[in-house]
Amino acid sequence: MYSFDYHTAASVADAVKARAGDNEATFLAGGMTLVPTLKQRLAMPSTLVDLSGIADLAGIRREGDAIVVGAMTTHADVAASAEVMGAIPALAALANGIGDAQVRNRGTIGGSIANADPAADYPAAVLGLGATVVTDRREIDAESFFTGLFETALEEGELITAVRFPIPKRAGYVKFPSPASRYAVVGVMVAETAKGVRVAVTGAGPAAFRVEAMEDALARDFRPQAVEGIAVAADRLNDDMHASAEYRAHLVGVMARRAVQAALG
Partner 1 sequence: MSETLSLTVNGKPVTVPVEPNTLLVEVLRQQLRLTGTHVGCDTSQCGACVVHLDGRSVKSCTMLAVQAQGRSVTTIEGLARPDGELHPMQAAFREHHGLQCGFCTPGMVMSAVDLFRVNPDADEDEIRAWLDGNICRCTGYHNIVKAVRTGLEAMKAGGARHAAE
Partner 2 sequence: MTEARTTDSGGVGARVARVEDRRFLTGRGRYTDDINRPGQLYACILRSPHAHARIKGIDKSAAEAAPGVVAVFTGADMAADGIGSLPCGWLIHFKDGSPMKEPPHPPLAVDKVRHVGDQVAVVVAETYRQAKDAAELLDVDYEELPAVVATAAAAGAAVAVHDEAPDNICYDWEWGDRAKTEEAFAKAAHVTRLDLVNNRMIPNAMEPRAAIGEYDPGADEYTLTTTSQNPQLIRLLLCGFTMGLPEHKVRVVAPDVGGGFGSKIYHYAEEVIVVYAAKKLARPVKWTAERSESFQADAHGRDHVTHVELAMDEQAHFLGLRVSTTANLGAYLSTFSTCIPTILYATLLSGQYKTPAIHAEVKAVFTNTAPVDAYRGAGRPEACYLIERVVDVAAREMNIDRAEIRRRNFITPDMMPYATPVGLEYDSGDFPRNLDDALKLIDYEGFEARRQEAAKRGKLRGIGFASYIEACGIAPSNVAGALGARAGLYDSAEVRFHPTGSVSVMVGVHSHGQGHETTFAQIVSERLGVPMDKVEIVHGDSNRTPFGMGTYGSRSLAVGGMAIVKAMDKVIAKSKKIAAHLLEASVEDIEYTDGTFTVAGTDKTIGIAEIAGAAYVPHNYPLDELEPGLDEQAFYDPKNFTFPNGTQICEVEIDTDTGVTKIVRFVAVDDFGRVINPMIVEGQVHGGLVQGIGQALLENCVYDPQSGQLLTGSFMDYTMPRADDVPFFEVKTNEVLCKTNELGVKGCGEAGTIGGAACVMNAVCDALGVPHIDMPATPERVWRAIQSNQTPAAAE
Do the strands 170-177 and 146-148 form a parallel or antiparallel pair, or are they unpaired?
Answer: unpaired
From the list partner 2, partner 1, none, partner contacted by residue 8 (C-beta under 5 to 8 A by kind)? partner 1
Residue 190 near residue 259 (C-beta atoms within 8 A) = yes
154 binds partner 1 (CB under 8 A): no
Question: In the complex with partner 2, which residue's Cβ is closer, 38 or 134?
Answer: 38
Residue 228 near residue 240 (C-beta atoms within 8 A) = no
Question: In the complex with partner 1, which residue's Cβ is closer, 39 or 138?
Answer: 39
Q: How far apart are CA 137 and CA 176, in angstroms?
A: 36
Residue from 181, 196, 246, 264 binding partner 1 (CB under 8 A) = 181
Q: Map the footprint of partner 1 across residues 83-122, applying CB under 8 A.
A: 99-103, 105-106
From the list partner 2, partner 1, none, partner contacted by residue 153 (C-beta under 5 to 8 A by kind)? none
Q: How far apart are CA 253 and CA 228, in angstroms?
A: 7
Interface mask (CB under 8 A) for partner 1, residues 62-81, using x and -? --------------x---x-
Question: In the complex with partner 2, which residue's Cβ is closer, 180 or 233?
Answer: 180
Least separation, in Å, of the C-beta of 154 and partner 2? 25
Interface residues toward partner 2, by CB under 8 A? 1, 41, 176, 179-181, 241-244, 247, 250-251, 254
Q: How far apart are CA 12 and CA 45, in angstroms?
A: 20
DSSP 182-201: -SEEEEEEEEEETTEEEEEE
Tell me how crowded residue 239 is: count the other CB atoms within 10 A of its CB: 14
Residue 7 near residue 47 (C-beta atoms within 8 A) = yes
40 binds partner 1 (CB under 8 A): yes
Residue 114 exposure: Cα atoms within 13 Å on the Cβ side: 27
Under the rule (CB under 8 A), what is the footprint of partner 1? Answer: 1-6, 8, 28, 31-32, 35-36, 38-40, 48, 50, 52, 76, 80, 99-103, 105-106, 181-182
